[in-house]
Amino acid sequence: MVMVAEGEVLWQAPPDRIAGLNLTRYLEKLATKGLHFDGYADLHRWSVSDLPAFWSSVADHFNLMFDGTPTAIVTADPMPRTRWFTDTHANYAEHVLRHETSGDPGRTMLHHGSELRPMATASWAGIAGATRRLATRMRQMGIGPGDRVVAYMPNLPETVIAMLATTAIGATWSSAAPEFGAQTVIDRFAQIEPKLVLAVNGYRYGGKDFDRSADLGRILGALPTAEHLILLDYLPGAAAPETRIPVTSWEEALSGPDVPREAFRYTRVPSDHPLWVLFTSGTTGLPKPIVHGHHGILLEHYKTAAFHFEIQQGGALFFYSTTGWMVWNTLMWGPLMNGRAVLYDGHPAFPDANLLWRIADQTDTTVLGVSPTYIQIVRQQGIEPGRSFGLTALQSVMLVGSPSTPETFDWVHRTVKRDVWVSSQSGGTEFCSGLLAGSPLLPTRAGEIQAAALGVDAVALDEAGKPVVGEVGELVIRQPMPSMPLCFWGDGDFARYTASYFETWPGLWHHGDRVRFTATGGAHVLGRSDATLNRFGIRIGSAEIYRTMESIPQVADSLVLCIEDGRGGFWMPLFVQLAPGETLTDDLKATINRRLKTERSPRHVPDEIIAAPEIPVTLTGKKMEVPVRKLMMGVPLGKVASRDATRNPAALDWFAALAATRA
């Protein structure tokens, strides 16, 4: 593997690309109003020093449609009570679908496919028309503003239609992927007491069929407020769920007459009205129900889609995602920009890891979002996408979901496309967007997130609460953002919200990531705070160890922990999942230790290297460092992680058994 120096400049946008950027056009518009900025850093300083002016300019630039005049662009209330564009009313779905007639209504809005369906397209007229029909049926069912509508559905056009119809009438949306087990779904949906449920009867993943009718019946039985079920017959031959709730087929729900665009009324709602409820990953404890609003999400999503993903009009965004991950809620960035979205339901590497590249090529994807974990699979299979596919439309590859190594950046440039913009971005479910992002105005540096996003006052604080640069600290947001949660559902006094993010430094959002900012404004996310490694009083991030481990061919995956012994000491084991046919010999252990010592530091050398059959990861592919750490500290398996939120539950069982031998 080619080793690349961290921070090495790998790419700089040529002048013609800079001239065509959304951000360039925005800067030109600001200049007509007497606002001139010398590059991204200067613009960012203004965006966090004058929040009302910056966010007003975003609303104006994208022509957000409001009823009323804002009493305040941003209120003086401290986080988490800050509110935006007060006394105005807006609707999220209305903005997504307003481009129906901005060109041929028959042009493509969605590309979609699955292991059960071949790739196909859906037009703007088709999606918008279906949304209006379903929204009208929902109103006839008695669903209105504030009612909760939940979906147990995959990443399909029907799910997009359901989400848009729900939000179009002012109801509140939430979704869970059908691979979630019944209890995982109940833990989420029962908290918000839905009135309408949409679901599939099953799905196919990795070539295997999964009938979900029994789980669906159990879920419905645990939702006493549910009055209606709309069922999509997605998996052929799956059984019908047993339920007391009236069942309407998807076809019947959309069987009403067409509703002309001019005759349909979107329900515009206040800025504190709930748009959707997203949930934390559920790896520990009951998932937190995070409530977002129409106004905040619109402002943040327009800004991010245009300025940090640079989705152009007519472009296509392809994020591999399930409906249980906040990334699914960002797929409409494409249509918001009068472009397209690409949906895929199925295993991302079945029948092989060429799949996502093949889809990107077929759909003329311009912005591709994948996880570094997926890139690792592609590399291990020896795939070089640029040799197999044209990818002529591809402009950007976004690495999201976990920290990305310098070698991953370099691999994309060498094997996918030389002139592609590679960007690592970091955000969270809490914002349904990014905190640390990028821009083609800036150079791409190996392994580095380019900058804090516009409007995001992000800093690293040391243990004394002092901002630091060039040192590892806690990621903190010092000023409010429009897409910060309105609240946690049911947390009327903000007690749980405050305890989650504002307890460490009152008045400042403590995100829970360890981060290091560079002198040039870039950032390196080093992992979650509570998974930080403590070696002889020095804190180090797990990402540094994983970078070295990824370059050792005998190791397929790894997980490192630091366990306090209660006597002021620490035990740092490194668990390795070996590549097929490999064994953990003394020679391999010596190689790992030598590489870590020379490439990192003596502090990075583990106390013990242990072969594990598999490394446990969440459904979105994140290593389960925190739950495994708690297992090793004696916490019972049932209290540290939900099996249904784990992609490979048997891996957790192995670690639980190991922990029992250490008790």
- The CA distances from residue 315 to 13, 75, 309, 393, 394, in Å, are 18, 36, 11, 9, 9
Q: What is the pLDDT of residues 488-535, one digit of tens each?
A: 999 989 999 998 899 999 999 999 888 999 999 999 988 777 766 766
pLDDT the model gives residue 282: 44
pLDDT the model gives residue 512: 87
Q: What is the pLDDT of residues 387-411, one digit of tens each?
A: 999 999 999 999 987 778 888 899 9
CB contact at 8 A, 486 and 291: yes
Q: What is the pLDDT of residues 609-658, one digit of tens each?
A: 999 999 999 887 889 988 898 898 888 998 888 887 888 899 999 999 99
On average, the pLDDT of the chain sits at 93
pLDDT the model gives residue 123: 98
- Buried-state track 76-95, b at ≥16 Cβ within 10 A, e below 16: eeebbebbbbbebbbbbbbb
User: Is pLDDT at 566 greater than 60 in this prediction?
Assistant: no
Contacts of 309 (CB under 8 A, 6+ apart): 317, 333, 367, 396, 398
pLDDT the model gives residue 622: 83
Of the two residues 335 and 662, the one the predictor is more confident about is 335
Region 83-98: what's the mean pLDDT? 98
pLDDT the model gives residue 626: 86
Phi first, then psi: give them for residue 525, nearest 5 degrees: -90, 125
Within the chain, what is the greatest distance between any pair of CA atoms? 74
Residues 378, 379, 384, 388, Cα dihedral to 10°: -20
Closest-CA residue to 150 (of 251, 222, 233): 222
pLDDT the model gives residue 567: 52
- Buried-state track 44-66, b at ≥16 Cβ within 10 A, e below 16: bebbbeebeebbbbbbebbebbb
Q: What is the pLDDT of residues 5-52, one digit of tens each?
A: 889 999 999 999 999 999 999 999 999 999 999 999 999 999 999 999
Phi first, then psi: give them for residue 299, nearest 5 degrees: -60, -50
Determine the 3-state secondary structure of 186 from DSSP.
Answer: helix
Q: What is the pLDDT of residues 165-176, one digit of tens each?
A: 999 999 999 999
pLDDT the model gives residue 56: 98
CB contact at 8 A, 351 and 297: no
Question: What is the SS3 assignment for 271-339?
Answer: CCCEEEEEECCCCCCCCCEEEEEHHHHHHHHHHHHHHHCCCCCCCEEEECCCCCCHHHHHCCHHHHCCC
pLDDT the model gives residue 601: 74
The radius of gyration computed from the CA coordinates of the chain, to the nearest angstrom, equals 24
Kindly state the tokens that stand for 592: 């790992």
Q: What is the pLDDT of residues 368-378, one digit of tens each?
A: 999 887 888 89
pLDDT the model gives residue 526: 81
User: Is pLDDT at 79 greater than 80 in this prediction?
Assistant: yes
CB contact at 8 A, 177 and 131: no
Phi first, then psi: give them for residue 575, nearest 5 degrees: -95, 130
Phi first, then psi: give them for residue 476, nearest 5 degrees: -130, 140
CATH class assigned to 11-15+77-517 = alpha beta
